[in-house]
Amino acid sequence: MSIIKSEINSELNSITANEAILENVLVSTKYEKPKRLPFKKRFIAIAAAVAVLVSFVGFRVYDVLINDYFGQTLSFRVPFEDVTIYSAELTDDGIRISQSYIYTSMSVHHKFDIDSKTAELHFCFHGEEEKGGVRNDLIFQAQIHSAPGDIKTHDEFIKADGLYEIVTIYYCEGHALTGDMGGLYIGEAEKYLVWER
Amino acid sequence: MAPNDRITELFREHADSLLRMCFLYLKDLQLAEDAVQETFLSAYRSLNSFKALSSEKTWLTRIAINTCKNIMRSKSYREPPFELSELIPAESNEFGQRETRISVSAEISKLPIKYREVILLYYYSEFKTAEVAKILKIPQTTVDYRLRQAKALLKKTLKGVDFQ
């Protein structure tokens, strides 16, 4: 023990924390439990956890709500750097997605999760050419599978589904999901689209 | 362990030294007791967020110092002169004469706060300079410098006191 410590303890030995202080603390906390993390910190913690998860899986998630009728063009705006405008058109072959302002070097994967009223559209960009490359307009055409190996035609779709709502657009960047075109599964969806150029 | 038991345990272990440190910080026993009470209340409320990245002593000391600083920043706070006479009985010499010896506590309490706190944390609470730097959120080199300055000031009045 340092000399100073022993001197202070000796000089101030009459100063002791009395039990009343502890009692006051315990009484004050009688009706409260130790706080959870403040909301802001909890939010940051959760957001950080999600961010880690998202960066691991390679997803960016945006919500877009679009009503779509067969025979009409879906147009929706997505905030993905320069790639901003997409349109989807239902054709005799299925659904055709028109993409403007996308780098040619990006390969794109799409997936529709389809039930009676909703469809989820998933884009997966390979990210290495994001900062360069030549813009080009690409058109992808789709064959729609209601389940792996089960191809539905456009007519079947009309009969089966009618109205579509695209409720969620998922983006994934990087190499986490670089499966072959049409071979991409996201999540546990049983239904997916195979896209062919 | 239940939160109440945990706080009680922490109180038994650290409250005295925290109170003395707060007293030397604030120079007012009542305020020091308030500070200690507030310290343990804060500790109770954030028991769940204590990640044990530092020792409990470091954690509590940091809370206590923040509490003391908050009190000192309050408009109602006026730094009182340090009076130990009520706390330290004067000693009698061999001739039965009462004599007042130089008090280490009093001399430390006369130091400017930036020197006082490093002396208290380093010599009284016995933290290493790196820990003092963390508690005070200042660079370790600043802690070293302040310690040197504080010792130089104390040596003028506390002749013969070994600072080891």
What secondary structure, in 3-state letters, does A59-106 show?
Answer: EEEEEEEEEECCCCEEEEEEEECCEEEEEEEEECCEEEEEEEEEECCC
Q: In this complex, is the C-beta atom of A37 within 8 Å of any C-beta atom belonging to chain B?
A: yes
Smallest CA–CA distance from B162 into chain A, residue? A3
pLDDT at residue B18, as a whole number: 92
Closest among A5, A7, A19, A20 to B88, alpha carbons compared: A7
Find, in chain B, the residue whose alpha carbon is nearest to that of A7: B104
- Tokens 């302002």 — which residue? A101
Mean pLDDT on A93-115: 37
> A35 to chain B: nearest residue by CA?
B45
A7 and B104 within 8 Å at the Cβ level: the answer is yes
Higher pLDDT, A56 or A16: A16
Q: Are strands A164-172 and A118-125 parallel, antiparallel or unpaired?
A: parallel
Chain A residue numbers with beta carbons less than 8 Å from the beta carbon of B87 are 11-12, 14-15
Residue with the bigger pLDDT between A87 and B81: it is B81
* DSSP at B96: S
Structure-block tokens of residue B161 = 């006191």
**C-alpha to C-alpha distance for A142 and B56, rounded to whole angstroms:** 62
The predicted-structure confidence for A144-185, as pLDDT tens digits, reads as follows: 333 333 334 434 433 333 223 232 333 333 222 222 322 222
CB B20 within 8 A of CB A9: yes
Pairwise CB contact (< 8 Å): B4 & A26 = yes
Contact B132, B143 (CB under 8 A): yes
Q: Which residue has the tokens 């039990």?
A: A19
Cα(A155)–Cα(A93) distance, rounded to whole angstroms?
A: 9
Lookup result for tokens 């879906």:
A74
Cβ-proximal residues to A131 (8 Å cutoff; 6+ apart), any chain: none
- C-alpha to C-alpha distance for B124 and B147, rounded to whole angstroms: 13
Structure tokens at A165: 């709502």
**Per-residue pLDDT tens digits for A19-40:** 888 888 887 776 665 555 555 5
Mean pLDDT of chain A: 43
Check if A40 contacts B (Cβ < 8 Å): no
pLDDT at A62 over 60: no
The token pair at B125 is: 């609470």
Average pLDDT over residues A59-70: 28
Tens of pLDDT, residue by residue, chain B (164 residues):
777 888 898 999 999 989 988 988 888 888 888 899 989 988 888 887 676 667 888 889 988 998 888 888 877 777 777 666 555 555 555 555 544 456 788 888 888 888 988 998 998 888 899 989 988 888 889 999 999 999 888 888 877 666 66
How far is residue A28's CA from residue A95's CA, in Å, rounded to a whole number? 65
> How high is the pLDDT of residue B95?
52
Instruction: Give the per-residue pLDDT at B89.
Output: 53
**More reliable by pLDDT, A36 or A115:** A36
Q: In whole angstroms, how far apart are CA A183 and each of A79, A98, A102, B31? A: 26, 20, 21, 70
Q: Which residues of chain A make contact with B91, given a CB cutoff of 8 A?
A: none
Task: Write down the pLDDT at residue A138.
Answer: 26
Residues of A within 8 A of B16 (CB-CB) are 15-17
Residue A109 has pLDDT above 80, yes or no: no
CA distances from A98 to A36, A95, A139 (A): 48, 10, 5
Q: How many alpha carbons lie under 13 Å from residue A26 in its C-beta half-sphere?
A: 15
ipTM of the complex: 0.76
Residues present in chain A in total = 197
